[in-house]
């Protein structure tokens, strides 16, 4: 059996350079008080031996852990994974966060915590004790959870909060959901739609409210009454179906729907077809999220594309800058979403009463 190749460690570098372990650690971490010639000797040994710094070596300096934790909602994340519904929100967050962490010698770890659990404090304190992270990225709805914010702030941990503008500690990052909903609504108005229904996400998510505000504002600016065109969902497929049934009922049904996530949009699409309507010939649909299932549905759906990877990357940058003692603005950071037009939206066909 072939012997496993021994990994190069900080001890090998120190022995080759003829310096202490602490000196190697200081060079790796760009710490001050290391003479230039000593830095050059250590870096030469690192290059010669092909050494890749480990988190353990970086921690020897004693000031940072070089770990950033992303906290996601356990219940919703596990439910999506189990159903294998194609949600890639977590994937995109990890993609953007991991790449940026790698640039700076950090590592990203994803932890799941239940927002509504009675054990939030215990779970979070256990994670802090075992990982000792330099920073935490909070995603909705954790990003507005005051108990979580209080615990992290008490432990002097840098916080980046995605999708929240609620008062509290940490850096605030949004994808300008209000403007994104405006873009979607304006697109449908330009196509001649006036009966534009909106299916909202759960009200405990701040971004759900922002999207409703954007839709209503665009409708108002177009001189269209949004009364009776709103339906409440909870981000599930079933709630999208129920909301679409309500919006398509009555004497004056909607001719288009904007749904606040992909699963609700797919539920709405199913109901639209059950009503004998074709998309986009008879009916237009727009979704939020733009996960793979939406892009490969039939037809491919027009969607608000959220720059999740870019936001996560920016969140990591803010945490690392804060840990380095740099002066960082506390103004909200906006990484705007965009509208990707595909084959689920088309010009509204005049009803018979319109041509009479």
Contact 267, 237 (CB under 8 A): yes
What would be the CATH architecture of the domain defined by 177-305+340-355?
Answer: 3-Layer(aba) Sandwich (3.40)
Measuring CA to CA, how many Å separate 296 from each of 32, 284, 300, 301?
A: 53, 17, 6, 8
| Two structure tokens written together for 244 | 């679409």
For the cut 80, the answer to whether the pLDDT of residue 3 exceeds it is: no
| Two structure tokens written together for 211 | 């999207």
Cα angle 306, 188, 201 (rounded to 5 degrees) comes to 45
d(CA 337, CA 345): 19
pLDDT of residue 192: 97
For the cut 80, the answer to whether the pLDDT of residue 130 exceeds it is: yes
For the cut 50, the answer to whether the pLDDT of residue 36 exceeds it is: yes
CB-based burial label for 310 (10 Å; 0-12, 13-18, 19+): middle
d(CA 129, CA 135): 13
Task: Give the CATH number of domain 67-175+307-325.
Answer: 3.40.50.2300
For the cut 90, the answer to whether the pLDDT of residue 314 exceeds it is: yes
pLDDT of residue 4: 42
For the cut 80, the answer to whether the pLDDT of residue 41 exceeds it is: yes
Give me the phi and psi of 238, to 5 degrees please: -60, -40
pLDDT of residue 352: 44
* Out of 99-103, 178-182, 192-196, 340-344, least confident range: 99-103
For the cut 60, the answer to whether the pLDDT of residue 55 exceeds it is: no
What are the sequence ranges of the domains in the chain? 10-59, 67-175+307-325, 177-305+340-355
Contact 346, 280 (CB under 8 A): yes
pLDDT of residue 311: 97
d(CA 306, CA 183): 13
What digits encode the pLDDT tens for the residues 338-355? 999 999 999 998 764 554
Reported as half-sphere exposure (CB side, CA atoms, 13 A), residue 273 has a value of 10
d(CA 333, CA 331): 6
Calculate mean pLDDT across residues 325-347: 94
pLDDT of residue 108: 94
Measuring CA to CA, how many Å separate 264 from each of 85, 117, 218, 285, 303?
A: 12, 25, 21, 11, 12
d(CA 181, CA 188): 11
CATH class of the 10-59 domain in this structure:
mainly alpha
| Adjacent-strand bridge partners of 347 | none
pLDDT of residue 135: 96
What's the whole-model pTM score?
Answer: 0.81
| Two structure tokens written together for 61 | 């300096």
Percent of the chain with pLDDT over 90: 59
Calculate mean pLDDT across residues 326-331: 91
Asked, colleague to colleague, whether 67-175+307-325 and 177-305+340-355 share their fold, the answer is yes
The model's confidence at residue 209, banded by pLDDT at 50, 70 and 90, is very high
Beta strand 302-305 with 230-232 is unpaired
d(CA 268, CA 279): 11
For the cut 50, the answer to whether the pLDDT of residue 1 exceeds it is: no
Write the DSSP string, 116-157.
T-TTHHHHHHHHHHHH--SEEEE-TTGGG-HHHHHHHHHTT-
Calculate mean pLDDT across residues 295-322: 94
pLDDT of residue 270: 97
What digits encode the pLDDT tens for the residues 261-306? 999 999 999 999 999 999 999 999 999 988 888 888 999 999 999 9
pLDDT of residue 68: 96
């Amino acid at each position: 059996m072939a012997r496993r190749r021994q990994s190069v460690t900080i001890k090998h570098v120190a022995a080759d350079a003829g310096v202490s372990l602490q000196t190697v650690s200081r060079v790796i971490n760009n710490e001050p008080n290391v003479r230039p010639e000593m830095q050059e000797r250590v870096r030469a040994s690192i290059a010669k031996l092909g050494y890749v710094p480990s988190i353990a070596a970086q921690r020897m300096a004693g000031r940072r852990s070089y770990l950033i934790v992303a906290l996601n909602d356990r219940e919703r994340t596990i439910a999506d994974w189990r159903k294998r519904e194609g949600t890639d929100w977590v994937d995109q967050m990890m993609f953007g966060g991991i790449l940026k962490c790698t640039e700076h010698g950090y590592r990203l770890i994803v932890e799941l915590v239940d927002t509504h659990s009675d054990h939030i404090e215990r779970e979070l304190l256990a994670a802090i004790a075992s990982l000792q992270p330099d920073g935490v990225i909070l995603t909705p709805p954790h990003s507005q959870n005051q108990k979580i914010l209080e615990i992290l702030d008490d432990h002097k941990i840098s916080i980046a909060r995605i999708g929240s503008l609620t008062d509290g500690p940490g850096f605030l990052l949004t994808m300008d959901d209000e403007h994104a909903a405006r873009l979607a609504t304006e697109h449908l108005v330009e196509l001649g739609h006036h009966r534009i229904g909106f299916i909202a996400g759960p009200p405990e998510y701040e971004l759900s409210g922002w999207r409703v505000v954007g839709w209503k504002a665009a409708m108002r600016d177009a001189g269209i009454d949004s009364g009776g065109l709103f339906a409440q969902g909870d981000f599930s497929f079933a709630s999208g179906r129920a909301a679409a049934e309500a919006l398509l009922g009555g004497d004056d049904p909607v001719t288009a729907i904007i749904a606040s996530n992909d699963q609700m949009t797919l539920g709405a699409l199913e109901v639209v077809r059950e009503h004998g309507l074709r998309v986009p010939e008879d009916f237009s649909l727009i979704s939020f999220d733009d996960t793979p299932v939406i892009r490969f549905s039939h037809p491919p759906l027009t969607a608000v594309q959220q720059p999740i990877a870019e936001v996560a990357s920016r969140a990591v940058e803010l945490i690392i800058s804060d840990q380095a003692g740099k002066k960082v603005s506390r103004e909200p950071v906006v990484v705007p979403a965009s509208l990707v037009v595909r084959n689920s939206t088309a010009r509204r066909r005049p009803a018979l009463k319109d041509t009479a």
